Structure 1
Amino acid sequence: MRVSTFVPARDSRHRHACFALYRALVREGRRIPLPSDLLSSNASGPHKGHPIPGLIQKQFRRNKADVSKRLVFVALTAGYKFLSIFREAQSHSSDAHAKIVSLVRPRVEAARRREADAAATPHPPAEPKPKPNYPPLVTRRVDLEGNVTYVPTRRPIPAAQFTGPRRHIPRVFVTAEGIPFLRLKKPQPRILGGVIRNLTQRRVRAVELAEALRHEGLVEAGHEDQWEDLVAREAAREGVADLLDGSELGAEMDRKAGYAGSVRTALAAMAESMQRSRLNAVARTEALVRIADEEKKLWREERARWKEERRKKGRGAKEG
């Protein structure tokens, strides 16, 4: 039977016991009267210049990653012993008070020396590093007929310019929304994930808007056209059609197309835009696939060359 590893930080009972011990140590340690030279008057925070709570916090953080039952038992036993010592050290005349002062003094002085050294050491301002001006992965080109193509710009990396230990073959991926991208390494860079997320949201919003226009917009526009036709017929029957044609309502309305025609025009424009986007994604995917194929070809050539060099070294070792 496999024994599971005990991780104290994931056990609720252990966490509650440690937090209770930590709070008790901080509470009792803050009550210990210390000499004025060990207290910091300009310190800020919940401890107000008392060094003992900070030392307790530092020790707890140091033991946070312990998973050995033996180390955890020793640390908790020491914590409970110090809890009893802190209670005894609250009296100036006790031996525990002198012991705590002798333990705290060198640590406080060492911390002050480090702060003084850090303040005395001049730190020149860090010069901002210029951002590398990398060329784009692929370059978009449009011919005279309006056809879009993409040409690889930065990859594949030639063998003479490759500086890494070994070449990794990139992989081409296409999301469910039809957005292609080239994965060069793992984990995926955060900026690439952000670009893919923004493009996906833009594509989803366009599709949702087209669906809303197709199902709801056309129906509502048809109702508006029926109402306008009804108003026009009533105006003609009552002999006020000329007044209606000269009004703002008659000037804004297109009698041939109507509101439904405007919605159909918008749907046609959106369909054309989405088709251009789809063709653009196809051309970009083809360029990325070309990059992956060329990188794989170079990887095979370098692998064959590496095997041949290794074979020659092995043959020379046998002959020697």
Structure 2
Amino acid sequence: MPGFLQPKSHIQHRVAAIALYRALLSRCSSAHALQDEERTSLHNAIRNKFRQNRKLQSSRQLGLVFKAGYEVLGHLDASQNPNSKSIDALKTLIPSLPRGIARSPPRWRPAKPPPDPSARDRCAVLPPEKALLNVRPYAETTGPRHIPILASANGIPFLRIKKPQPPVLSRVIRQALQRRIDNFHAKILFSNYWTPLSNHEDEWDAILERECDFVEKDTRKYGTFDPLWVDEVIKAESANRAAHDKDVQKTTEIAAKMTELIDKETELALQEGRKIVRGRKIKPIRDRWLK
């Protein structure tokens, strides 16, 4: 068998292991020279050892376990003779088996179904009056003051306070990133698809008006006028650009508030006489850095 191939993936190895496993179990069940308890213990030991060694990859270890299995199989075959020494060998082997090996293997239990995602409250967030930026910095703390760390997830600022990260924070970051990606994709779609298409439609309307004296009028709301396809695309592009600018402005304001919060927390911690450690080099912040 090639060295790069796992034994459990090789057909010859699987056939030999399954054949030995079935032969041992069948001979163990028909070994009438053993007591019922002895047959049960040996039967459980065979099942447990095969379960433990099913992922072996070492050629040396596989050779040893196969050799031991064939030796036990030979003793079971020879135990059919009442005067055989194999019966004594088996009766000596079975009591020496560890208790964990002689026990019956655990029963297979079906895996629990995953929880229904619809049962979770996806809007379970803190109320505005308990939001982080509204309640901190705390004037007094019962223990050491933990200063949050300003982090960025692809340009989305957030405060890292503890690990693991709360699921609500992860959801908010994913939503913000997805909103930014959707705006960018819409911008590309407007510039590369809808704008050229609307220009072609306007050119076609101009051809109809010039060659066929046909003018499309729109009198639905604003009176009679000659609409242009590109005007609606420009409006949509402006709305998309305004949404992007609003998102950037909101992100900048939140980052400024977070920076101000960290500065206040740092100042309070220094006033309390505590040493603040930041960075991998473990250098405390000095007073002159806060000025």
TM-score by length of 2: 0.59
Q: Which residue of 2 aligns with 1:135?
A: 126
CA offsets, 1:129-151, max 9 Å, x none? xxxx8736x769xxxxxxxxx98
| CA RMSD in angstroms, aligned pairs only | 4.7
Matched residues in 1 for 2:65 and 2:95: separation? Answer: 18
What SS is found at the alignment partner of 2:28?
coil
What SS is found at the alignment partner of 1:181?
strand
Matched, 1:273 2:243: yes
Paired amino acid for 1:30: R
From 61, 68, 78, give the equivalent of 1:82.
Answer: 68
Q: Which residue of 1 aligns with 2:288?
A: none
Matched residues in 1 for 2:132 and 2:226: separation? Answer: 46
| Within-5 A mapping of 1:94-105 | 94-95=86-87, 96-99=89-92, 101-102=94-95
Q: Which residue of 2 aligns with 1:152?
A: 133
Q: Is the 8 A contact 1:224 1:259 kept in 2?
A: yes
Provide the aligned length of Structure 1 versus Structure 2: 239
Matched residues in 2 for 1:62 and 1:215: separation? Answer: 55
What SS is found at the alignment partner of 2:205?
helix
Specify whether residues 82 and 190 from structure 1 end up closer, same or farther in structure 2 by C-alpha distance, changes over 3 A only. Answer: farther
What SS is found at the alignment partner of 2:246?
helix
Matched residues in 2 for 1:203 and 1:104: separation? Answer: 64
Matched residues in 1 for 2:226 and 2:205: separation? Answer: 12
Matched residues in 2 for 1:191 and 1:89: separation? Answer: 63
Q: Is the 8 A contact 1:26 1:53 kept in 2?
A: no
Q: Which residue of 2 aligns with 1:285?
A: 255
Q: Once structures 1 and 2 are overlaid, which stretch shifts more, 253-262 or 206-215?
A: 253-262
Q: Which residue of 2 aligns with 1:55?
A: 48
Q: Which residue of 2 aligns with 1:170?
A: 148
How big is the shift at 1:213?
A: 0.8
Specify whether residues 280 and 14 from structure 1 end up closer, same or farther in structure 2 by C-alpha distance, changes over 3 A only. Answer: same
Matched residues in 2 for 1:29 and 1:161: separation? Answer: 63
Specify whether residues 221 and 83 from structure 1 end up closer, same or farther in structure 2 by C-alpha distance, changes over 3 A only. Answer: same
The higher-RCO structure (CA 8 Å, 6+ apart) is 1
| Within-5 A mapping of 1:103-252 | 107=100, 110-111=103-104, 135=126, 152-162=133-143, 166-176=144-154, 178-186=155-163, 188=165, 192-236=169-213, 245=217
What SS is found at the alignment partner of 1:304?
coil
How big is the shift at 1:260?
A: 0.4
Matched residues in 2 for 1:153 and 1:285: separation? Answer: 14
Q: Is the 8 A contact 1:89 1:97 kept in 2?
A: yes
Q: Is the 8 A contact 1:159 1:298 kept in 2?
A: no
Q: Is the 8 A contact 2:8 2:54 kept in 1?
A: no
How big is the shift at 1:277?
A: 1.2
Percent of aligned positions that are identical: 21
How big is the shift at 1:63?
A: 9.5
Gaps of 5+ in 2: 31-35, 81-85, 108-123, 277-291
What SS is found at the alignment partner of 1:152?
helix
Paired amino acid for 2:253: A
Specify whether residues 213 and 15 from structure 1 end up closer, same or farther in structure 2 by C-alpha distance, changes over 3 A only. Answer: closer
Gaps of 5+ in 1: 1-11, 41-49, 65-71, 116-132, 141-149, 307-320
How big is the shift at 1:53?
A: 4.8
Paired amino acid for 1:82: A
What SS is found at the alignment partner of 1:185?
coil
Q: Is the 8 A contact 2:56 2:62 kept in 1?
A: no
Specify whether residues 232 and 189 from structure 1 end up closer, same or farther in structure 2 by C-alpha distance, changes over 3 A only. Answer: same
CA offsets, 1:121-178, max 9 Å, x none? xxxxxxxxxxxx8736x769xxxxxxxxx9813433454344xxx54432212344x3
Matched residues in 1 for 2:195 and 2:250: separation? Answer: 29
Paired amino acid for 2:44: P
Q: Which residue of 2 aligns with 1:8?
A: none
Q: Is the 8 A contact 1:151 1:287 kept in 2?
A: no
Matched residues in 1 for 2:196 and 2:55: separation? Answer: 68
Q: Which residue of 2 aligns with 1:121?
A: none
Matched residues in 1 for 2:174 and 2:92: separation? Answer: 60
Matched residues in 1 for 2:242 and 2:268: separation? Answer: 39
How big is the shift at 1:104?
A: 6.3
Matched residues in 2 for 1:218 and 1:97: separation? Answer: 86
Matched residues in 2 for 1:77 and 1:100: separation? Answer: 20
| Within-5 A mapping of 1:300-315 | 300-304=270-274
